[in-house]
Chain A
Amino acid sequence: MDKVKFAQQFIAAIPHARALGMELTELGEGRAVIAMPYDEKLIGEPKTGVISGGAVSAVMDTCCGAAVMSHPAAPGATATIDLRIDYMRAANPGQTIVATATCYHITRSVAFVRATAVDDDTDRPVAAATGAFTVGQS
């Protein structure tokens, strides 16, 4: 089974990724793209219908992990060491969130990842993330 197919099935096998309707749309060479459709259950600010920062965190974390796993130097499973998210603006209610993560450096023990999340207005990111992930035995 090729690596992309394996990773797609792996994402589909994550109960929480499935619960949030995440779909892996691109994967390879330390880069991953995951889409998460808008849903009322994701709302964090009831007055405006804007989705919760926590939901953006979930798609960012999953996307960063997928990017690490897809890196040619990564032996497989990974776990988040730390993840920082900057929330630049409220996501537009009703629009799909698309996260893109890049594993820009990897050592035998640690993978360093950056990610951004956008909605339909792709020129103005909703959030940016930076994190460190385990490589190999965690």
Chain B
Amino acid sequence: MARPRPEPAQVVKQRRDAALAALVTGVPYAQFLGIGFDRRGDELTGVLHFDDKLIGNPILPAIHGGVTAAFLEMTAIITLSWTFVLPAIDAREIDPARMQAGDLPRLPKTIDFTVNYLRPGLPRDAYARAIVSRSGRRYATVRVEAWQDHRDKPFAQAAGHFLMPPQDSKGG
């Protein structure tokens, strides 16, 4: 039985990276805050690029608590979306070119989100990773942690619940 030749790894990688870029650049608020994502296989790391407009305490100075919360929540939403977007991309059910043209999958909706502030966010880049504790057909539970210079000294952590988009609205 003849099997189709597997695609070159580079083609698969390009398609995945294009889809992730389209997903993130499609969210105006992520663009406004300067949030991007690094991808290593299926693992995503949110990157908050520092800018003076993110300051909440000009005396320290420190990043605004609302920015920290938004960064953690965006990392949770994109990481959660990636759990259903990546398989759809790999299965060729979603076309990254159509995503780039604005045909984006619906994002999960936040039900509640709790942020613990552990230390001030310093005026420099920040990173975050989310772990999907449980993802069902309707609800998902996600925890997320953000750090700056030292991975083992997070400056904020959060946990939240999300309403998953209906399965038939993957888009693309």
- The number of chain B residues with a CB under 8 A from chain A is 40
- The interface stretch among B11-19, B85-93, B109-117, B139-147 is B109-117
Write out the residue numbers on chain A whose beta carbons fall within 8 Å of the beta carbon of B54. 15-16, 19
Across the interface, which residues of A come within 8 angstroms of B69, CB to CB?
54, 57-58, 61, 83, 85
Contacts of B102 in A (CB 8 A): 46
In the assembled complex, the Cα of A81 lies from the Cα of B69 at a distance in Å of 12
Q: Is the CB of A42 within 8 A of B32?
A: yes
Residues of chain A in range 1-57 having any CB-CB distance to chain B below 8 Å = 13-19, 40-47, 51-55, 57
Query: Does any Cβ of B come within 8 Å of A105's Cβ?
Result: no
The CA of A51 and the CA of B71, in the complex, are separated in Å by 14
| Sample (13) of A-B pairs whose CB atoms are under 8 Å apart | A14-B57, A15-B54, A45-B107, A52-B74, A53-B110, A53-B113, A57-B115, A58-B70, A61-B66, A77-B57, A82-B114, A87-B109, A87-B110
Known: A44-B29, A81-B117. A54 touches B65 (CB 8 A): no
A46 to B165, CA, bound (A): 14
In the assembled complex, the Cα of A58 lies from the Cα of B27 at a distance in Å of 17
Which residues from 111 to 147 on chain B have a C-beta closer than 8 Å to any C-beta of chain A? Answer: 111-117, 120
Binding site for A on B (CB under 8 A): 26-33, 52-59, 64-67, 69-71, 73-74, 77, 102, 104, 106-107, 109-117, 120
Number of A residues with CB within 8 Å of any CB on chain B? 38
Residue numbers in B under 8 Å from A13 (CB-CB): 58
- Closest chain B residue, CB of each to CB of A62: B66
What residues of B have a CB within 8 angstroms of the CB of A82 in the complex?
A: 114-117
How far, in whole Å, are A65 and B65 apart by their CA atoms in the complex? 10
Q: Quick one: which of A17, A51, A59, A80 contacts B29, CB cutoff 8 A?
A: A51
- Contact of A101 with B by CB under 8 A: no
> What residues of B have a CB within 8 angstroms of the CB of A90 in the complex?
109
**Nearest B residue (CB) for A58:** B66
> Is A54 a contact of B55 with CB atoms below 8 Å?
no
Distance of A85 Cα from B70 Cα, bound (Å): 12
- Other than A15-B52, A54-B70, A62-B66, give 19 A-B pairs with Cβ distance below 8 A: A17-B64, A19-B53, A19-B54, A44-B28, A45-B27, A45-B109, A46-B102, A46-B104, A47-B104, A54-B73, A55-B29, A55-B66, A57-B66, A57-B115, A61-B64, A61-B69, A77-B59, A79-B57, A81-B116
